[in-house]
Amino acid sequence: MRKFYNRGDLLDSTTEFILKKMSNPTERRPHILLITTDQQRSDCLGINGNHEVETPNLDALARNGVNFRKGYVTCPVCIPARRTLISGMSPDSHGLRRYLDGVDFDPPATLPGCLKEVGYQTELIGKLHLHPQGKRYGFDNITLSETANWRPDHPHQKRNDYVRWLQEKGVTRHPTFQGIGSNSRLSAPWGMDDTLHWNQWVTDETVKLFQQRRDPTCPLFLHLSFFHPHPPFIPLKHYFDRYLEKDLSGPVIGEWAKQGEDARAAPDAVAGPFDEGTMKRAKAAYYALINHIDDCIAHILEQWTNLPDVGNDPLYIIFSSDHGEMLGDHHLFRKSQGYEASAHVPFFLSGINVDLPSMETDDFVSWEDVAPTLLDLAGVVIPPSMDGRSLVSYLDGKEPDDAPDHIFGQCFGRFANLWVVNERWKYIWFAKTNEEQLFDLQNDPRETRDLSGTNTENLQAMRKIMEGHVSGREDVTFDESALSPCANQPPKVFWPN
């Protein structure tokens, strides 16, 4: 259910909450590492069943903690998701339900702000993607690069500390000189020295923080925010070659998708059909970027554990991604959709020098839960503005009884869609065309057959759940008499002709 607050009341109550100390004032608060990637699907970790991509380090971390196999982002596109991450607020609460840059964001409480108030050194390295650019939202310091692209004339992304670092090293060439854009399905190997790649830069900056800028007298909160595997798909050559040599599977094409192949679609097109060769190369580059990140994380954690003053200090780690990537599945590309490839993300809680159960769960979690969980781990009472729940109770090795029975998601714009997923069913409603789809995830986890035209009973049940989330809203009208089941045919929202 949506929660509405008076901002002044929230500011007063938030101050009261975050100033509360742990019950034992001499207790050392744990260090916290929040690692996020950008545009990484849930099924792109080995531990989540992918036998093509190599992620041994992340898999080991996940095995040594709690792996949430049903992690979702409730608005699967960059800025709304990142608002949710930093504030713990749902899209309905923080007010952004689509990709829209240049909009000020001033939440009543933030994860880094709450941690800073109780004595943490709070740092961000990598992507933040909030407005105005440079606002710290409670971080003591931000080392900022929203993208591997250099955009000096962009109205909202002029600052890029990565590009500044390249220039300090005498590199004046554009880092994406291949001409591959930030939403392109095209791919090419990285064309400069390996040490200049974006992944390597953010890794080196993190190690510098550990060794040179860290305050040893207080706990550290670091948001390590990777821009990749978001396009441009320009991995290091030896990683790219590794996956080009593999016999990778092609995209999953549902019965309901437009069939055939067509290489003429624009490089950044959302809907195909796409030719399989281009998409297989895109997958190879995408996997290569993930593999590189996996190795980077291993190096970062090795450097952390080698710090002489860390010793037995507890470190908690959450790993997740802001949304997935369709990657040619159903002849769709990019994100923003309620399909599993787009909205379902990796999500696990692990750590170093902490006692954690080794377990997996199918309970639903979302990005609303990240901030409450990390505040709870730090001994900070969760501010009332946060919509999510703490996941700390899972550290007892049991599944608590407060897990939601479904997730509601939405993303507006050209392909406005709202969706509901429960233990078995996925319902998608396209608000502009009133089309709808229904998938049986238990028997069809890759969403290849749309049952909206045949399974009336479950379609009606999922409609009622959707109606509970959107009734009373002024921006959409959910009129059952106007709904049009796609009935396993291509949605007109993607293929109007």
Active-site residues: which are they?
A: 78, 129
Going by C-alpha positions, the residue among 360, 455, 448, 443 that lies closest to residue 398 is 360
Contact by Cβ (8 Å): 323, 335 = yes
Percent helix, percent strand, percent coil in the chain, to nearest 5: 30, 20, 50
What would the DSSP string read from start to end of 286-352? HHHHHHHHHHHHHHHHHHHHT-TTTTT--EEEEEEES----TTGGGB-SS-SSSHHHHEE-EEEEEE
Name the 3-class secondary structure at 196: helix
CA 348 to chain CA centroid, Å, is 12
Which amino acid does the sequence have at 196? L
Which strand ranges, in their side-by-side order, compose the sheet holding 484-485? 406-411, 417-422, 425-430, 435-440, 484-485
Residue 152 preceded by cis peptide, ω within 30: no
User: What residues does 144 pair with on adjacent strands?
Assistant: 126
Half-sphere exposure of 323 (CA within 13 A, CB side): 29
Q: Which residue has the tokens 């095995």?
A: 63
* Pairing relationship of beta strands 121-126 and 435-440 according to DSSP bridges: unpaired
Contact by Cβ (8 Å): 300, 203 = yes
Contact by Cβ (8 Å): 119, 28 = no
CA 466 to CA 430: how far, in whole Å?
Answer: 12
The angle, 0 to 180 degrees and rounded to 10, between the axes of the packed helices 370-377 and 78-87 is 30
